[in-house]
Amino acid sequence: MEKSLKWFWKHRSVVLCALAVFFTCSATNTAEPLAGVGVGGTRRRNDLAPLVGKGLRFSGLSFRIALFADLHYGENAWDDWGPEQDVKSDKVQSIVLDKEMPDFVIYLGDLITANNLPIHNASLYWDRAISPTRGKGIPWAILFGNHDDASFEWPLEWFSSAGIPDVHCPFAGGKSCSFRGTMRMELVKEEIENNILSHSQCGPTELWPGISNYILQISSSKDPDLPSVFLYFLDSGGGSYPEVISFAQVKWFKEKSRTINPDARIPELIFWHIPSKAYKKVGPHPKSRIRSPCSGSINDEEVASQEVEWGMIDVLINRSSVKAVFVGHNHGLDWCCPYKSLWLCFARHTAYGGYGNWAQGARILEMKEDPFTLTSWLRMEDGSSHSYVKLSS
């Protein structure tokens, strides 16, 4: 209890601010129709949290998804280096999208480095991060990582003789910079309301402070009401609260999956940002060669897992319909390894923000409908592809 009170007191301003935004988003969390069209491919939306998001559908024989992980837009926003990385990150996304022409994009967390953003509204950089996909007319969805709503970290060198640099707030509309940061709910609410192509959702209120907890359906090519695949998004925390998938999220997944897929007949894919401890068990020893049956190209660091486990992996391995889990977070890992009845996969560090100098790329998923198969590979900035692996048959 004493430890919890100390944590609350330390983060009280963040918690109170998040509560205020949470209730604002909750007030609009209805299933009303779409409410008017804006410019630039956007429109105001009120349908922020249906039980299962629909609108994705197999067309032809396959459905392809690009996973963009750990983009980290907005790093060192006060100097030339930071914006230059964002320009190069735009290019990586565009190359992958042009090469793969995916039906859907999933942003797998850490779209921005909020702890590096001395700006009144981090959603400006959030919007920049998703702009390559939006510009090509491709639908997408997001989930949160540990940097997306992190508090600004004051660089110690700012207090040296060099002093605090001039900070510019792009598109601030005359407003001064502040260091408050932008809460999860603010980021996703603004994205949903202003982008017709976004399939992101404000998650169920009972799972707060986790926000990106929701389900999307990929419908059959034969019948738009018939589900062929379910995609589950889970908020693994970090930033404004601990890195964890809670017991409440585990319970929510069990209840919802049994409701929409009671006989576990429909394939299910799972996405969150921070790997579970099971990744440590199954992965190759850090910096060792990746050997079959695992697949991948970099294994240069230890798995940085969630702080604690509350049973999610145990539930997943006992559900036959779950085929694979996909995470980001570790920039120096891109492998997939089998774990009991499913596969545990890393994406690929996609952009130039964040730590490490590994080549940039993205994990690609391709599903075929009937019979269901799931194949994955890595598409790189230089146009090459490698590490093909069959995750289901």
Q: What is the 3-state secondary structure (H, E, C) of 115-181?
A: HHCCCCCCHHHHHHHHHHHHHCCCCEEECCCCCCCCCCCCCHHHHCCCCCCCCCCCCCCCCCCCCCC
Cβ partners under 8 Å of residue 129, min gap 6: 71, 73, 89, 107, 111, 112
CA proximity to 62, closest of 390, 369, 378, 352: 369
Query: The tokens of 237 are what?
Result: 């925390």
Q: What share of the chain is helix, strand, coil (3-state, %, to 5)?
A: 25, 25, 50
CB 231 within 8 A of CB 218: yes
Residue 184's nearest CA partner among 227, 158, 149, 231 is 149
Integer Cα distance of 328 and 332 in angstroms: 10
- DSSP state for residue 358 in the 8-state scheme: P
pLDDT at position 47 is 41
Q: Whole-angstrom Cα distance, residue 370 to residue 361?
A: 29
Strands 322-327 and 342-346: parallel
* 3 state DSSP class of 376: strand
Tokens of 138: 């491709």
Strand partners, 385: 379
pLDDT of the residue at 178: 55
Q: Where are the beta strands (DSSP E) in 162-314?
A: 214-219, 227-233, 268-271
Name the pTM for this structure: 0.86
Torsion angles phi and psi, residue 157, rounded to 5: -65, -15
User: What's the pLDDT score for residue 175?
Assistant: 52
Instruction: Check if the beta carbon of residue 353 is closer than 8 Å to that of residue 128.
Output: no
**Strand partners of residue 63:** 367
Q: Which two tokens stand for residue 251?
A: 């319970």
Check whether the bond before 165 is cis (ω within 30° of 0).
Answer: no
Q: In the chain, which stretches have pLDDT less than 70?
A: 1-50, 119-121, 164, 166-181, 393
Quote the CA–CA distance of 340 and 205 in Å, as a whole number: 33
Predicted local distance difference test score (pLDDT) of residue 80: 87
Contact, 272 vs 245, CB < 8 A?
yes
What pLDDT is recorded for position 153? 74
Q: Which fold has domain 62-153+177-390?
A: Purple Acid Phosphatase; chain A, domain 2 (3.60.21)
pLDDT score recorded for residue 169: 56
Element (H, E) at 84: helix 81-100
Confidence (pLDDT) at 76: 85
Which pair of structure tokens corresponds to residue 300?
Answer: 């240069």
Distance of CA 79 to the CA centre of its chain: 27
